[in-house]
């Protein structure tokens, strides 16, 4: 993706988030210069890969297949193993109308996907088998404490305020219907480097073509701008 495209997506995303009455933490507004000036006190943000994250899954059609994310908080796998400290993660995602977050599942993470406002959010569900293929069996999920069962490939539509709990090995693909959706995600610790399994062979983090200066840094930019550490490439 070109940096100019990433900058535009984040600028538009900031306006959208504000319009929905949601407020992001201070580091959401830090510039590249702010990051260069940060001391070791801000290490948690870089090491836990908090902040802006955008993907077009390497397909170059962001409006059709892509998503803007912001990771607000995230613990570590160490915490999760010890059941101490931050064992959780929270993100927001901005999903455009008919813009797909492609079929994927997680082996470790259990996540709640929440419609925090905008249009409706359609989620397509399958169980993954041990080879990552779709299974032909019903999928049961919890939607705000109420169990729902759909056939393989069936959908659940979340109106604003509704949420769904996705267990490990439950494939999910989603898109906004009618209007863009501010999506919340509350989950166990998130490991984007190792715990995303896509149905199609796609990428998670785009290569950035630097055609202008960054408006905000992506979590993948910290290694270049922040002197005091970044998330290890494989897991954190
Ligand atoms: Fe997911």
Nearest-angstrom CA–CA distance, 164 and 4: 34
Distance 213 CA to ligand 1 centre (A): 30
In a domain, 235, yes or no: no
Tell me the pTM. Answer: 0.95
Residue 232 has pLDDT above 80, yes or no: no
In a domain, 202, yes or no: yes
- Write out pLDDT tens, residues 133-162: 999 999 999 999 999 999 999 999 999 999
Distance 34 CA to ligand 1 centre (A): 31
DSSP of 118-185: EEEEEEEEEEB-TTSPBPSS-EEEEETTEEEEE-TT-EEEEPTT-EEEE-TTEEEEEEEEEEEEEEEE
Q: So what's the pLDDT on residue 206?
A: 87
DSSP three-state, residue 106? coil
Mean pLDDT of the chain: 95
In a domain, 127, yes or no: yes
Nearest-angstrom CA–CA distance, 214 and 155: 38
Confidence of residue 201 (pLDDT cuts 50, 70, 90): confident
Distance 36 CA to ligand 1 centre (A): 32
92-75-184 Cα angle (round to 5): 15
In a domain, 124, yes or no: yes
Q: So what's the pLDDT on residue 123?
A: 98
Distance 212 CA to ligand 1 centre (A): 31
Distance 105 CA to ligand 1 centre (A): 6
Distance 138 CA to ligand 1 centre (A): 19
How many domains are there within the chain? 1
Domain hosting 57: range is 3-225
Residue 53 has pLDDT above 90, yes or no: yes
- Write out pLDDT tens, residues 98-135: 999 999 999 999 999 999 999 999 999 999 999 999 99
Distance 196 CA to ligand 1 centre (A): 7
In a domain, 126, yes or no: yes
- Encoded tokens for 92: 């927001």
Indicate the DSSP class of residue 223.
H
Indicate the DSSP class of residue 151.
-
In a domain, 231, yes or no: no
In a domain, 148, yes or no: yes
CATH number at residue 205: 2.60.120.10
In a domain, 155, yes or no: yes
């Amino acid at each position: 993706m070109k940096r100019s495209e990433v900058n535009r997506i984040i600028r538009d995303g900031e306006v959208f988030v504000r319009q929905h009455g949601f407020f992001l933490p201070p580091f959401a507004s830090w510039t590249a210069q702010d990051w260069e000036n940060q001391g070791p006190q801000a290490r948690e943000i870089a090491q836990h890969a908090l902040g802006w994250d955008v993907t077009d899954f390497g397909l170059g059609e962001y409006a059709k297949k892509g998503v803007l994310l912001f990771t607000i908080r995230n613990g570590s796998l160490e915490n999760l193993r010890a059941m101490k400290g931050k064992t959780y993660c929270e993100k927001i995602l901005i999903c455009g109308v008919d813009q797909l977050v492609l079929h994927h599942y997680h082996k470790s993470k259990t996540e709640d996907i929440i419609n925090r406002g905008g249009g409706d959010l359609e989620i397509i569900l399958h169980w993954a088998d041990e080879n990552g293929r779709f299974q032909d069996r019903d999928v049961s999920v919890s939607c705000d404490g109420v169990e729902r069962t759909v056939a393989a490939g069936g959908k659940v539509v979340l109106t604003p305020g509704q949420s769904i709990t996705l267990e490990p090995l439950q494939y999910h693909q989603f898109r906004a219907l009618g209007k863009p959706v501010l999506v919340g995600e509350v989950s166990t610790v998130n490991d984007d480097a190792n715990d995303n399994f896509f149905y199609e062979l796609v990428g998670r983090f785009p290569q950035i073509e630097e055609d202008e200066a960054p408006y905000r840094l992506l979590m993948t930019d910290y290694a270049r701008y922040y002197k005091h550490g970044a998330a290890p490439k494989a897991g954190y």
